[in-house]
Amino acid sequence: MLTLASVTVRTPLGFAQISGNELGIQSVRIIDEGEVSTEIPVVLKDAVQQLSEYFEGNRTEFQLKLNPKGTEFQQRVWNALLQIPFGKTTSYQQLTLQLGDPKAIRAVASANGKNPLWIIVPCHRVIGSDGSLTGYAGGLHRKQWLLDHEQPNKQQVLF
């Protein structure tokens, strides 16, 4: 069995805890408090670098080997999330239709909420059919920040 490596880095949203091994990144989550790692394991260097580039505004797409743990259905949902382009959103209803089962909206929402690869697998890009922000495991304030960060024409504050 391969050893799981972890690292904690500071981001504008809090501390990102990244875990993975040679098979790929298994999880990325943001927490309010943490301690920045002094060393970055080799298997996580690309993930740390690409997340840093994303937060700096220099990356719109991740190119990482991913290995999230979940059911076959969850994997299908997470793969569908990867198809949502940077700066765009979709609704839970649209995502459900894309997956081919319009009655599975609750299951799709549940799988979305269990996504272990926050930001990299962009579950934050899924919103309510009416355009409202709906649940995000990292909190709606983080979801709003990510959506604002991904807007190509950012509104400037005048005052």
Picking from 45, 46, 7, the residue whose alpha carbon sits closest to that of residue 28 is 7
Q: What does the alpha-carbon distance between residue 53 and residue 37 come to, in Å, rounded to a whole number?
A: 18
Per-residue pLDDT of the chain (159 residues; tens, 9 = 90+): 689 999 999 999 999 999 999 999 999 999 899 899 999 999 999 999 999 999 999 999 999 999 999 999 999 999 999 999 999 999 999 999 999 988 899 999 999 999 999 999 999 999 988 888 887 777 889 999 999 999 976 555 555
Task: Quote the pTM value.
Answer: 0.89
Upper half-sphere CA count for residue 154 (Cβ side, 13 Å): 10
Residues catalogued as catalytic: 123
